Structure 1
Amino acid sequence: MTSFLRSDRSKPVAIWLFVVAALVLAMIVVGGATRLTDSGLSITEWRPVTGAVPPLGEAHWQAEFAKYRQIPQYAQINAGMSLEQFKFIYWWEWGHRFLGRLLGLVFAAPFAVFAIRRQIPRRLFPRLGGIFVLGALQGAVGWWMVASGLVDRVSVAPERLTVHLGLAFALLGLLLWTAFDAWAGAARQTLPSPWGRRAAWLIGLIYLQVLLGALVAGNDAGLVYNDWPMMNGHLVPDDYWAGSLWGTIAHSQGAVQLHHRIVGYGLALAAVALGVGAWRSSYLSREAKILGLAAAGGVLAQAALGIATLMAVSPLGLSIAHQLLAAIVLSLAVAFGWRVRRV
């Protein structure tokens, strides 16, 4: 048994954290599918414990369906929906919530075991505490997001969706960085280098692009302006201004899509410059060079997939792939950022 008194690394702890990160990735994908199938409002109550059990009989299904029929989404969009159609969207949302509960269990139970056996390096405890707080906050934010669509709207508020997705991506990045640290131990040597800052800028740009993509998704802005590189024949969409600064930033379909495009162009250029620079650097290890190129290639692939998804009017399969690749690209950038800080 490895004690944190004798070692600052633990491969079992690292593997556990990689598994938790994989579950977060699955949550991101399932959450995207839940939104794309308009399933997120099918469960109108937040029951953290009893909600883990789905409806078990006809009476329970009818009761859940009756609750759904009271919200604006049913009245304005799904009026006349059959019980079988309701079950389809209900299972998507229930699956998303169940995966969240499973994620909490997979984090908490092994943490307790590793802590009791003193296998967790002491220096990782603050970060693991941060991961726990982020995970708990994510559940609360998820309900806060859903609640925004139950009274006066037919979908969740785009800004709340953005916060929810942003927390998920932050959790993914923190889990990966901590897992790398658990696997390799504390850095034995670091040298002053601009590459740490460059990697941080790349991670930041990718994260910003994820947030802007969430606003596109929340406003269904991928269903409009489906030409490229123009927007209905114009550089700036006709409906860019929504009457106020916040309305434009968070709620204008034309504006959120234009912002997502512009940052995407900048991100692609920055990623190519970083990837080429990393490959030509005499300072970086071969592993870091490969990760830099992989991150740059991932950004370019994501840009191409985004354009294809837009021009195809955001079909389910391409939209899910676009969200999945965004998470993979962020993961590559985090791995690159972690690696360049070590000699």
Structure 2
Amino acid sequence: MTWVYDPLPAPTAFDVRVQRAGPAVAIWLWTLAALVFLMVVVGGATRLTESGLSITEWKPLTGVIPPLSEADWRAEFENYKHIPQYSAVFPDMDLGGFKFIFFWEWSHRLLGRLIGLATLLPLIFFWARGQLPAALKPKLIGVLALGALQGFVGWWMVKSGLTGRVEVAQERLAIHLMLASLTFAVLVWLAASLREKRAAVPAPPRALGVWANIFIVAVLAQIGLGALVAGLRAGRAYNTWPLIDGRFIPPLDQLTLLRPVWRNFVDNLLTVQFQHRMVAYAVLAFALAQSLLTRRSAGAGGASRRANALAGLVAAQALIGITTLVLVVPLWAGLLHQAFAMIVLGMAVAHAQVLAQGR
């Protein structure tokens, strides 16, 4: 029998375009992740400055243009005066003060629109040029859908504070922040997946990937609990550490004061802050355990270095949280705490993604 060498087929023009597009698509996705990160920080400033209800109408297109004349500004201010927050929180506000809070909310909404365009237009471009791997296309459509959903949830959140209360509903704020965090996590995962493959190394144990994915869920849950604390302004109460209201664990009757009992987890200031503290301890313990497990299972390689860095970031975030609490949530500390939560999430996602690639 005669063996004939059958060479591999030469790469097609489409294959070459996809390969060359890898770095460009990755840069685009990292840029989107950075924009979402900025969106979360600006959203935190909007919340901490009580600016989120300053724009009382949802105008997806025309709302991009702020008031341009003195008459327009006064008309917007009059709209704001009709909601409960004005009379209850800012009864002495003048037009200059209104312009300040309007700026934060308008900037937040404008950034959301820019993120939408920065997602849609490059997606169309890369898709039309055949530079997207087939497996990536539905995931990018999912990112676009998450962005659209986030816009609707944002208005649903704002609407909750226009009548009957002086702030947005904290559970809607939590959903809004969780969606933004999920979008950020997906973008980091996709961007990290496009990294250039390195030389083969021994694959880490599969259990490490399971731990890493569970840790992402824990971080997302803690971000949601933090949003409940922020929505209730619970960080401005019980400003001692490590004790809360004089005890490490408050009495059960105070933690379950409201009826039905489930309301305590979203409406009881003591319970909401207590659960945020306890989950923070659990996340820190998880990060330290993951670091030790990774060291023992995978040695002193890249996986161990990432796990150590992640544990350090979580410890730093815990320290920032404590500082924010005992200082009664100054603006700089609140923003740093929120921004660092996203850094922890991004590192956790990048670590899990690299493990999923067997590195």
Same fold (TM over 0.5): yes
Give distance in 1, aligned partners of 2:193 and 2:70: 50
Residue 269 of structure 1 corresponds to 285
Q: Is the 8 A contact 1:27 1:96 kept in 2?
A: yes
1:305 aligns with 2:317: no
Q: Could you say which residue in structure 2 is the equivalent of 1:28?
A: 40
Secondary structure of residue in 2 paired with 1:3: helix
Task: Write the deviation string for residues 199-228 of structure 1: whole angstroms up to 9, x where unpaired.
Answer: 011111111110100000000000000011
SS, match of residue 183 in structure 1: coil
Question: Mapping of 1:184-223 within 5 angstroms?
Answer: 184=196, 193-223=206-236
Whether the 8 Å CA contact 1:299–1:329 is kept in 2: the answer is yes
Aligned to 2:147: 135
Alignment of 1:1-343 (within 5 A): 3=14, 7=18, 10-184=22-196, 193-234=206-247, 235-236=249-250, 239-240=254-255, 241-282=257-298, 286-343=301-358
CA deviations 1:125-176 (Å, max 9, x no partner) are: 1110110110000000000000000001100000000000000000000001
The separation in 2 between residues aligned to 1:256 and 1:151, in whole angstroms, is 24
Superposed displacement of residue 120, structure 1: 1.1
**Residues 252 and 4 of structure 1: is their aligned pair in 2 closer, same or farther, counting only changes over 3 Å?**
farther
- Structure exhibiting the larger radius of gyration computed from Cα positions: 2
Amino acid at match of 1:210: I
- Aligned letter for 2:274? L
Q: Which amino acid counterpart does residue 211 of structure 1 have in structure 2?
A: G
Gaps of 5+ in 1: none
Across the two proteins, how many residue pairs are aligned to each other? 342
Question: Would the alpha carbon gap of residues 208 and 271 (structure 1) be closer, same or farther in structure 2, given more than 3 Å must change?
Answer: same
Give yes or no for contact 2:54–2:102 (8 Å, CA) kept in 1.
yes
Give distance in 1, aligned partners of 2:41 and 2:342: 9
Matched-pair contact (CA < 8 Å) for 1:138–1:164: yes
How many percent of aligned residue pairs carry the same amino acid?
Answer: 46
Determine the C-alpha separation between the residues in 2 that align with 1:101 and 1:114: 20
Secondary structure of 2:195's aligned partner: helix
Cα distance between partner residues in 2 of 1:45 and 1:341:
44
Letter in structure 2 aligned against 1:224: A
CA displacement, residues 15-62 of structure 1 (integer Å, 9 cap, x when unaligned): 000000000000000000000000000000000000000000000000
- What is the letter of the counterpart of residue 119 of structure 1? Q
Q: CA RMSD in A?
A: 2.1
When the two structures are superposed, what TM-score results if normalisation uses the length of structure 2? 0.91
CA–CA distance in 2 between the matches of 1:248 and 1:263?
Answer: 16
